[in-house]
Amino acid sequence: MKIINLKCPQCGAELEVHEEGLVKCKFCGSTFYAEADKAPITMNTTINNFNTATSSYNTAEAKNKAMKIVGAVITGCTILLFFVIYMMIQPVSGGKLKYSADRRETAITNKLDKYYTDNKKSSQEKKYTGSGLEDISFLREKSYITELELTKCGMITDYSVLNNMPNIESLTLKEASNLDNLNFLSSMTKIKNLSIEGSEIEDLSPLSNKLSLTALELYNNQKIQDYTAVTSLKSLKKLYINSEDSAVIPDISGLNFLTDVKINEK
């Protein structure tokens, strides 16, 4: 209870207040009001469904932003570090790299040059044709050719170079009056076409079983008397023979691939 005034304002006498209400001074008869002391009012509010999602979201977003900032700083520092290192080694490393690149470029250029040179040889010198020659020893430097045609060979006395031409696929020798054997054929494993005219050859045995041969022309080789070796050339498709009347021409019916045959212009 709250006491408004414990003394009488009129006479100053002590007042006794026992409960809320009117109080009357017993000495002077003055009347007063006594008010009870009330406790302060306290309001308690209980919130059962507090929304923590927003708070959690804000916290996570703040963490993400912080991580991004840290990541950006680390990335920037790393790039800067590599740049500094690169600039420090550039004078030496750059020179080495350039030297290595130059060497590779030179090697590639050399290979291309060789490739084009080889192709040029292959296209321009794959076939060699000569007429009226006296010396054919220079052919040793042309062992890569595959087709050789020599006409008017009467002045050629040495044919030994033909023993070192393994890539020959087609060989033509005309008016070869000093050619007396076919021994060079043993080294010509790729030969397909052979034409000999006006030679001094007597023995055709080097032709025997030359299965690579598909075309054979033998014209006016007066010393050849026996053509029996021709029957062993099972791959022949073309056969031209112009022989002496006394020469022996064998039965060639066993050459199953022959499609073009001329014997003594018949």
Q: Is 86 in the same domain as 193? A: no
List, as one string, the DSSP characters of 22-56. Answer: EEE-TTT--EEEEBPPPPPP------S----HHHH
DSSP letter at 242 equals E
Based on the structure, what is the number of domains in the chain? Answer: 3
Question: Which range (17-21, 156-160, 227-231, 244-248) has the least confidence?
Answer: 17-21
How far, in Å, CA of 186 to CA of 134, rounded? 24
In a domain, 49, yes or no: no
Q: Is 100 in the same domain as 131? A: no
Average pLDDT over residues 204-220: 96
Q: Is the pLDDT of residue 43 over 70?
A: no
The residue that leads in pLDDT, 94 or 125, is: 125
Domain boundary at 93, 122, 151, which?
A: 122
Q: Which domain holds residue 205?
A: 125-263
In a domain, 140, yes or no: yes
Binned at pLDDT 50, 70 and 90, residue 42 comes out as low
Average pLDDT over residues 194-221: 97
pLDDT-above-90 percentage for the chain: 52
Which residue in the block uniquely carries the two structure tokens 């001329």? 262
In a domain, 183, yes or no: yes
Q: Is 129 in the same domain as 251? A: yes
Q: Provide the pLDDT for residue 61.
A: 76
pTM equals: 0.56
Q: Is 6 in the same domain as 98? A: no
Cβ(224)–Cβ(248) under 8 Å? no
The residue that leads in pLDDT, 257 or 67, is: 257
Q: Is the pLDDT of residue 17 over 90?
A: no
Q: Is 131 in the same domain as 169? A: yes
Q: Is 259 in the same domain as 133? A: yes
How far, in Å, CA of 128 to CA of 151, rounded? 11
In a domain, 156, yes or no: yes
The residue that leads in pLDDT, 137 or 55, is: 137
In a domain, 56, yes or no: no
Q: Is 163 in the same domain as 206? A: yes
List, as one string, the DSSP characters of 154-222. Answer: TT----GGGGG-TT-SEEEE-S-TT----GGGGG-TT--EEEEES------GGGTT-TT--EEEEES-T
Q: Is 92 in the same domain as 150? A: no
14 SS3 class: strand
Mean pLDDT, the chain, whole residue set:
82
How far, in Å, CA of 205 to CA of 90, rounded? 74
Q: Provide the pLDDT for residue 152.
A: 97
* Interval 144-155: pLDDT, tens: 999 999 999 999
* Interval 59-103: pLDDT, tens: 777 777 788 888 888 988 888 887 878 777 665 455 555 556 677
Cα-based distances in Å from 200 to 151, 158, 196, 197, 218: 15, 13, 10, 9, 12
Q: Provide the pLDDT for residue 1.
A: 47
Average pLDDT over residues 14-31: 66
Cα-based distances in Å from 264 to 81, 217, 239, 248: 93, 11, 11, 12
Q: Is 116 in the same domain as 136? A: no
Check which CATH number belongs to the domain holding 133 and give it: 3.80.10.10
* Interval 178-197: pLDDT, tens: 999 999 999 999 999 999 99
Q: To 10 degrees, the CA torsion angle through 228, 232, 233, 238?
A: 40
How far, in Å, CA of 190 to CA of 236, rounded? 14
Q: Provide the pLDDT for residue 32.
A: 62
Q: Is 214 in the same domain as 248? A: yes
Of 143, 190, 192, 133, the C-alpha closest to 164 is 143
In a domain, 53, yes or no: no
Average pLDDT over residues 93-120: 68
Which residue in the block uniquely carries the two structure tokens 């020469």? 247
Q: Is the pLDDT of residue 259 over 80?
A: yes
Cβ(28)–Cβ(11) under 8 Å? yes
Of 241, 183, 199, 188, the C-alpha closest to 216 is 241
In a domain, 154, yes or no: yes
How far, in Å, CA of 244 to CA of 218, rounded? 11
The residue that leads in pLDDT, 37 or 216, is: 216
Q: Is 116 in the same domain as 168? A: no
